[in-house]
A and B are shown apart, each in its own frame.
Chain A
């Protein structure tokens, strides 16, 4: 019997480890380091200790301070508005699709899934026209007089609409698989106890799909904190920066045409990262549990 040579494992896992070090490990460490420096992306960073954090967290006169808090606030608003819808709507669709007398389920599922494959920039072009004041569908049909992207709360509505439209397909499929896996006996015994459809949903369906529910909540929340494309394309952060999310500020500070302010941007990224880290910790815990069983 031939055992594999000493270096064989290196051949199989080695190439990926190099990729991992270059594109994940080093940039992550450097990203934290850069947040303690003054850096313009070109020269070498100059250590400034906690200055960037003091500026964005406490220096009320600084634009970076107001940008950080405005960006974080808007990101939280986005998370708060989008995540519940991205859970509830696909759950309702999945329940309807798993109704035992409903037919054409694969057709319905396909139609609802397709927008998830549309790139966000293409989707934004189409939806911007739909919400356009003179030419759009919404104002034509509902006689509304608002410039949607430039008036609140409509600016948020446009962003949330496109997000939900493009983002529920995956969750829908996870819920369908979950509901499909629920034992029919549970429903039958609930029926014998006289439970109606609503009680069956609360007492049988929901508890049985607890794991996929938690999983999608975590994933959707983490994704929502990284929001960038929808506000950039739908409202460009307006009106008056009321939809400018933190990722937009980070990108502007680090990569806009003037001198890069990558140090401050890194500090903002680390702060956003801390929020995401908590969410990731939950995710890791769930996946780990899944991996060992």
Chain B
């Protein structure tokens, strides 16, 4: 049998024998950012469509999670940087070809917007809330007047943020597993399903819960469709991408991917939600937590497995 033996004298820390430059911080951030994007997109969409009354939790309550998620995500991102004191360089440069630059600027827009959105709904959480100062009240009036514009900004930047978490990875052709444009829509869908699950978790309204169980079901369907297409694309591509797919089809990530992401994160919650819609009693907590967990695991596994996938020469 013809064989090839490659011996390399290079042994750079965090680069060899496998790349392991990105650790828990990046997938954690991708998950938190994606979920916040999902929550904000759903809130903005229902507000713009004038369905605020029917889906009060989704528009007014769930978004309170978003600023927290975004800030935690930013802290995780900061931990990832190795030259931390120079982080501000992100905001003195606009680099259109760099997904990370897009992400940094999108966060710069959507984080304050999410805080403003929450501030406008403080009275929903605390009925006796009062903005003590006059200028704060003026500010509230101002933003209430332009709430629809704010919702549009939130929707558009939410979509950018959700897609960018995937594009960030798919822009790297050096890592064949990441190098598929399906990751953008897949991560957006996964973020939206986590966002829908958050409302499912928080809502006390039966009709709203039903609607969000339905939304989750549809998005899980879309995610499964995208994952199947991702594998079809890989297996029909070059050897390096076939190898990348094989990380999940018999390779070291097979069990974790199929058990945690597909089975526990998508199939089981989908089944439970179908049961709920068919009037069986299912505690809303279970499918919602499973969906959020699956969305988290998807990013972890893709980020770690991607660093194992490479060109051999």
Say whether A associates with B.
no
Q: Which B residues fall within an 8 A CB radius of A?
A: none
Q: Which A residues fall within an 8 A CB radius of B?
A: none
